Amino acid sequence: MKVIIQRVTEASVTINHKEVASIEKGFLVLLGIVNEDTKEDIDWLCRKILGLRVFPDENGVMNTSILDVKGQIIVVSQFTLHASTKKGNRPSYIKAAKPDVAIPLYKTFIKHLEELSQMQIQTGEFGADMKVSLLNDGPVTIIIDSKNKM
């Protein structure tokens, strides 16, 4: 399971010209899932995301978490995070989990993030053609792969 976390001052997701999610200060989390991902990957990633100290403290040092600043989160599924570009110029997405595997894990990820954070997590729509807008704050962008814990 791989995520790209962007610290934002605002972010939104639009599907068919209709805004389906919108936040102010917080995280836009792009989530990519592979067949080997498990509930242990979900738990580890959710705890890592919520514990990241990437918001400024009173001295302007990145030392506070999203929970500390009472931020918001949007999670967007993104199978392209597992693209392989080793051969040719057309990416291969063979490592990305198919919907029958990915959708349950995606939903479990969101539910677990909500349970741990005690906040409502906003989302895009799995498999939809989404337009994602954001104003990256910093810019701060963090990439985490649950297969690289060590």
User: Which residues participate in catalysis according to the annotation?
Assistant: 80
Is residue 49 classed as helix, strand or coil in its secondary structure? helix
- Nearest CA to 30 out of 120, 147, 141 is that of 141
Let me know: does 44 contact 134? Beta carbons within 8 Å. Answer: no
What is the distance between the alpha carbons of residues 145 and 3, in angstroms, rounded to a whole number? Answer: 6
Q: What letter does residue 111 receive in the DSSP assignment?
A: H
Positions of E strands within the chain: 2-15, 18-23, 26-32, 55-56, 62-64, 72-77, 122-123, 130-145
What is the distance between the alpha carbons of residues 48 and 39, in angstroms, rounded to a whole number? Answer: 14
